[in-house]
Every structure is written in structure tokens, then in C-alpha cells.
Structure 1
């Protein structure tokens, strides 16, 4: 079951500059593992040392924030659109 993963600019060095790539997996965790098998090192930028989503990385499965779903256990059926979005902060 192939899904589409949108890659933010800051992580495109791992995907050879590609802004969108395909991966497979029944859950978000499976998809991230598959993504890392194809693009080594990318998963470490999305997950922390404990294997949880990094605090300042937002992941959406079909426009829904996975933190309000099942986190890494969120199902990813074929055709799902996954977006990885780093949080942006700043100001005066």
C-alpha cells in the first residue's frame, strides 16, 4: 500500500531534492521506517531518541494531525497523503 509523503525543504537533502516521495506501510511508523530504508537518516530528523515524534515536527495524515489520532500507530491506507511540517517559531 503506497502512500505519498510531502517532504519539507529542510529535509530534502535526504531525498535528493524531491519534495514528494512514495513509501509503504500500514501505519505511520511503518511508513517512516520504509522512508528511512530508502532515504537513510531522515527518520532520525522526524523521531527523537525514544522513537516518538520530535516536539517541533508536525505530521499530518490526510490533513489530520497525528497527535490527535494514533500518533505512529495511525493507519496509512493506500493513497494516503502524509505531510511532514517542521514547526516555525520566532518573533521579536
Structure 2
């Protein structure tokens, strides 16, 4: 069962990557992604903010890798709010 979910996630990101190849000035991708990204885990993560909630899960790691590869910012890790304290 987990392997099927992993294949579906990989397929989703492949399709999203194809969409990202289309030329545009701005790109906003939003959704749940079942991802917990937490905050920045290393200095190599240029598009992650320092604040976040929780410990990064597998879906979060996948999302962070995608955003880093495509130079997209994970906006809810940039601004601290009351719930993340």
C-alpha cells in the first residue's frame, strides 16, 4: 500500500514539474501536500524560512526538495505567527 502512495506522490511531482516548465513571471503553488516542513534544516536551504511548526516528515522533505529545485519559497516558514511559537 505504501509503495502505491509513493508512486502516486512521485507521479504528482513529475506532473507538477512539467507545469513549472511553462514560462510565467510568477508561480503560486498552494495546497496541503500532507507535508510538515518545519523550519530551515541546513544553510543549503535557500528558499526555506527559519520558522515552522513540527518536525519535517517524508512528504515535507519531498516538498522542500521540489521547492529548492524550482527556486520557490515556502512562505509559511518565513513569517512567525502566534501558532508557531
TM-score (norm 2): 0.27
Higher relative contact order (CA 8 A, sep 6+): 1
TM-score (norm 1): 0.26
Greater fraction of residues in helix = 2
Higher-Rg member (1/2)? 2
Greater fraction of residues in strand = 1
